[in-house]
Chains A and B, each alone.
Chain A
Amino acid sequence: MTPSEMGPLSSAIRVAWVMLSAGLVLAFFRLVRGPSLPDRVVALDLTATLVVGMIAVDAIASRQPVILDAAIVVSLVAFVGTVAFAHYVEKRGSE
């Protein structure tokens, strides 16, 4: 944990990891449970958002701004996936 071992930022990073992990668990719960296909697609979209947030937190925690490019790619893939799923739901109907 590089940013000044005991500073405000390192505690904030710890809290951020915990909260994002809890968010991932909740989104995964909806992904498993979701009564219909659109619910699962929404949960998947939120999962991608949380992963992008995790990448941002990791960029600060490890002082590596390079991985921000990965965040761009993940958000792009998530968008394309959601649009494709929406098209698929509209053609096929939700189950």
Chain B
Amino acid sequence: MKEWISAGLLIIGVTFMLLAAIGIVRMPDLFTRMQTATKGGSLGIVCTFLSVAVYFGEFAITARSLLIIAFFFLTAPVAAHMIARAAYFVGYQLWEETVTDELRGHYDLHTHALDSGTYEVVVRKPKTGLPDSGAASGEKASAEKE
């Protein structure tokens, strides 16, 4: 019984990781690739290490597996967010069929500060890069917040 549960969890986890790898080849631009790699990888790690914990069934190994899972859940989103943020700042082109870019006009490209959370929205002209980060959308946002 223990072996069956462990084998099932292992197959599920490995399938998630393989899907992440397929996604990283098939997806059209960096941001979709990043999300598929991070989500698929995290879920795969969770299932695989649960399988390890079930298979050994000892306290020390279960604790270590849970530690690895917790560590992954802390670090994977941070790493993915940092790389996507860096790519957005250097003007990485979104996929041409992207429907919406909610960040457009909300990043101060000079100080790298995001304007959410401040009630006084200061709209600055972007220096470089991103396709005209319309002052219009920024002003609308500030109007709505007031």
Contact = CB atoms under 8 A, between A and B. Distances in A.
A91 to B, nearest CB: 9
A33 to B, nearest CB: 8
B25 A15 contact: no
B79 to A, nearest CB: 4
Contacts of A46: 20-21, 24, 37, 41
A90 B30 contact: no
Nearest to B58: A65
A49 B84 CA distance: 18
Given A8-B7, A27-B21, A42 B37 contact: yes
A76 B7 CA distance: 27
Interface residues on A, range: 35 or more
Contacts of A75: 68, 71-72, 75
A72 B69 CA distance: 10
Given A29-B25, A93-B90, A36 B17 contact: no
Contact of A26 (B21, B30, B44): B21
Interface of A: 3-4, 7-9, 11-13, 15-16, 19-20, 22-24, 26-27, 29-30, 36, 38-39, 41-43, 45-46, 49-50, 52-53, 56-57, 59-60, 65, 68-69, 71-72, 75-76, 78-79, 82-83, 85-87, 89-90, 93-94
29 contacts: A3-B55, A7-B3, A11-B7, A15-B11, A16-B14, A19-B15, A22-B21, A36-B92, A39-B30, A42-B83, A43-B37, A45-B38, A45-B80, A46-B20, A49-B44, A53-B13, A56-B45, A56-B48, A59-B52, A60-B51, A60-B55, A65-B58, A68-B65, A82-B82, A83-B79, A86-B85, A89-B87, A90-B86, A94-B92
